[in-house]
A and B are shown apart, each in its own frame.
Chain A
């Protein structure tokens, strides 16, 4: 049989992802996680010396701490199975990627296993975040130097 013909049969019979349902679940999950973040930010603004702008730093750290607990107790994968991108896109998803890799590779030791593999999933986010920030800031700096735009 030809590959094209098989691809056609396969496409006809295989179930399609329920996109609308997935999108709604992602919206709900992602929205709720951000809402929790908003409450944590409120906590830091009210009880500590943070402004609305600076509160995002301790908020992010707290969210990653919560992600660690949920990951360790095996709950984050359940949230992800339900919420899809709604659980992957918030910073808790970044935390889950780091913590799950660290836990998984413990059996190979703390230096080679945990240390060597902690960022195997999240590393690309850091790499491309840093590099795109570098490029964007560089362009902006040059444009400012030539007087095209201002800070």
Chain B
């Protein structure tokens, strides 16, 4: 009996997305040309990292709204999260937007958990317009989870770089010729006893594998049903392990697998295993994947966002790293005969 499966009968639609990113992403990310707005300053010309973090998310929401020609007053719910303690950047964004708000925390899997919750609200006809998404800001997250930015510590090959990026997505009732949300799988928290906070990919890969298998079996899918199955931020090391686990689980191939974290900065070795952070999966899913769906290069995709549910406190107190992965399936109808 597989639990956590969700099917959205009414097939809620994605109406618009907004993606913002920082100056390093502008220079180094292969996805930079697809982002809606990039800042010249890492704090968006504001005094603190957290102010800049809020601005990223706020602007992403406004961009998504302007594309759909909507005002914040028309939006019924705002669902988002980030990695800062008590999620102040998300909370402060919600204050500025004045949209009824629920903060969600699934670490870097929040991009998908917020979309799942939004789809549920739309499917239950409890809302017409829901804004979902997630964000992260490198400076704010590093100083909280690791070291001061200017502290010298040697990063190994498995370390990942928290991105400065935000993604917002406007979800509403079903509409033809838009990417629609078919079904989803809510993941279980999986802990395989990994302890190295500089090797998150290894900790998250089993959670991604578990949710993928549950989604395929539970919804009766095979991996060939998808143009791509894209994970959030496993990084090059975690992605390699994830593919090995897929083989172990008897999947025929991993040709259509992608990982947003591994691809984010190209193969630049300064970023070690690639990108991470709740803005990473959101930015790639809502720019690259979304735009490929609009052009029908992708007709069916599985977004599989992963999150490591640790804190500096839990790590220092000797706890292992529990992880989660949530999956959401999007599809685009065939070209309409017009």
Distance A100 CA – B150 CA, assembled complex (angstroms)? 5
Q: Is B241 in contact with A104, judged by CB distance below 8 angstroms?
A: no
Q: Is B147 in contact with A121, judged by CB distance below 8 angstroms?
A: yes
Q: Is B150 in contact with A72, judged by CB distance below 8 angstroms?
A: yes
Distance A88 CA – B241 CA, assembled complex (angstroms)? 32
Q: Is B150 in contact with A15, judged by CB distance below 8 angstroms?
A: no
Stretch in contact with the other chain, from A40-48, A74-82, A136-144 = A74-82
Q: Is B151 in contact with A14, judged by CB distance below 8 angstroms?
A: no
**B99 at the A/B interface (Cβ < 8 Å)?**
no
Q: Is B241 in contact with A77, judged by CB distance below 8 angstroms?
A: no
The smallest C-beta distance from B330 to any residue of chain A, in angstroms, reads: 29
Stretch in contact with the other chain, from A5-13, A50-58, A127-135 = A5-13
Q: Is B147 in contact with A100, judged by CB distance below 8 angstroms?
A: yes
Q: Is A104 in contact with B192, judged by CB distance below 8 angstroms?
A: no
Q: Is A100 in contact with B241, judged by CB distance below 8 angstroms?
A: no
Query: Chain A binding site: helix, strand, loop or mixed by DSSP?
Result: helix
Query: Which residues on B sit within 8 Å (CB–CB) of A10?
Result: 192, 194, 202, 205, 241
Query: Which residues on B sit within 8 Å (CB–CB) of A71?
Result: 150, 152
Distance A78 CA – B151 CA, assembled complex (angstroms)? 10
Distance A99 CA – B150 CA, assembled complex (angstroms)? 8
- State which size class the interface on B falls in: 20 to 34
Query: Which residues on A sit within 8 Å (CB–CB) of B193?
Result: 3, 6-7
**A97 at the A/B interface (Cβ < 8 Å)?**
yes
**A64 at the A/B interface (Cβ < 8 Å)?**
no
**A63 at the A/B interface (Cβ < 8 Å)?**
no
Pairs across A and B, CB under 8 Å, 21 listed = A1-B192, A6-B193, A7-B192, A9-B244, A10-B192, A10-B241, A17-B157, A71-B152, A77-B152, A79-B152, A88-B152, A96-B150, A96-B152, A97-B151, A99-B150, A100-B147, A100-B150, A100-B151, A103-B150, A107-B47, A107-B48
Q: Which 5 A-B pairs have the closest CB atoms?
A: A80-B152, A104-B148, A100-B150, A100-B151, A84-B154
